[in-house]
Amino acid sequence: MTGATGFVGSHLAEALVEKGYEVYCLVRPTSDPRWLQGLDVRLVYGSVTDEQSLAAAVREKDYVFHAAGLTKARNPSQFFEVNSGGTRKVLSACKKHNPSLRRVVYVSSQAAAGPSPDGRPLTEAHPCQPVSLYGKSKYEGELATAQYATDLPVTIVRPSAVFGPRDRDVFFVFQLVNRGILPLIGSGEKWVSLIHVKDLARAIVMAGESAEAVGQTYFAANPEPCRWADAGALVAEALGKKCLRVRVPLFVLSLVAAVAHVSSIFRRLPPLLSFDKIRELKQTHWVCSTAKIASTLGFAPHYSLAEGLRDTARWYGENRWLK
């Protein structure tokens, strides 16, 4: 698998080990393997952009789970180099060096499909209309996967917004709520589909193992979307905090993004908040349907939203992330 040192990937590696698989993790030499420590996996050094390392990595494997990807980048071209170009190279390596494998699972993103234009949960049949460069790069990865569908048994899984232990993206909400502030972005209500990372890992494994999933695309999320404000209230409940709801205008986010962009130039790191991310945050309905994955694969989350947020808050507390 790729992306095993990341948030989603490390949980996927755990789920595969628990299922009894012998797991090989393609990791960059500069990656931090802390989440894999103590886990019975084998590290293979390389990169999704390095064709030579990919050739060695995919040989004699039964499954390839491609979970690597950039969610932040200093340069927009990096999204496409890794998320779409890297996916194409993984697929090419599989075709050249292991065409008889059982499955290739590409972990995409709801961002590839884009937000719902009318508030109704998107289905897999809805045309993809990504609004961010990140989303477009993941969508290009899906197109590449579809092009290899005649040569390889491929499956695409599109996670909704993911939260859980080890996450640093939704973590900022926990930080602010812990300090008594619940941020509400822009005007009006915003709706979102969410999934706990352990449920997502199960969904990805199920999609990889099911014969019915060959050639298919699945959204993975909790069945019921929720209002962002309600999710924030559940975070406050999980932390045992009372918080003030603060409406954050989009122009304020743009100012923060501008400062973050300048700072990233000097720090040589991706900005903590980018204009690309703001294009996603200002959307009203990031909602998707889970009818297909439920009916064809029998997937149902183990964690309700409230239970999942309590589990996440407990992990942040135990690991001293919240101060």
- Structure pTM? 0.95
Q: Record the tokens describing residue 258, joined without a space.
A: 């501008």
Residue 204 placed within a domain: yes
**90 falls in which pLDDT band (50, 70, 90)?**
very high
pLDDT at 74 over 90: no
302 by Cβ neighbours in 10 Å (0-12 / 13-18 / 19+) ranks as exposed
- Taking alpha carbons only, the member of 192, 191, 209, 234 closest to residue 299 is 209
Segments forming the whole domain that contains residue 119: 7-167+193-226+285-303
Number of domains in the chain: 1
Question: pLDDT by residue (tens digit) across 223-251?
Answer: 999 999 999 999 999 999 999 999 998 88
Four-residue CA torsion sign, 164, 165, 166, 169: positive
* pLDDT of 263: 79
Residue 49 placed within a domain: yes
Residue 187 placed within a domain: no
CATH number at residue 23: 3.40.50.720
CA distance 317 to 219: 30
* pLDDT of 34: 95
Residue 216 placed within a domain: yes
- Taking alpha carbons only, the member of 20, 26, 86, 301 closest to residue 9 is 26
Question: Residues near 148 by Cβ (< 8 Å), separated by ≥ 6?
Answer: 91, 92, 94, 95, 104, 154
pLDDT at 188 over 90: no
% of residues, the chain, pLDDT over 90: 87
The mean per-residue pLDDT over the stretch 53-78 comes to: 94
pLDDT at 262 over 90: no
pLDDT at 6 over 80: yes
Per-residue exposure over 106-119, b if at least 16 CB sit within 10 Å of its own CB, e if not: bbbbbbbbbbbeee
Residue 268 placed within a domain: no
pLDDT at 197 over 80: yes
Residue 160 placed within a domain: yes
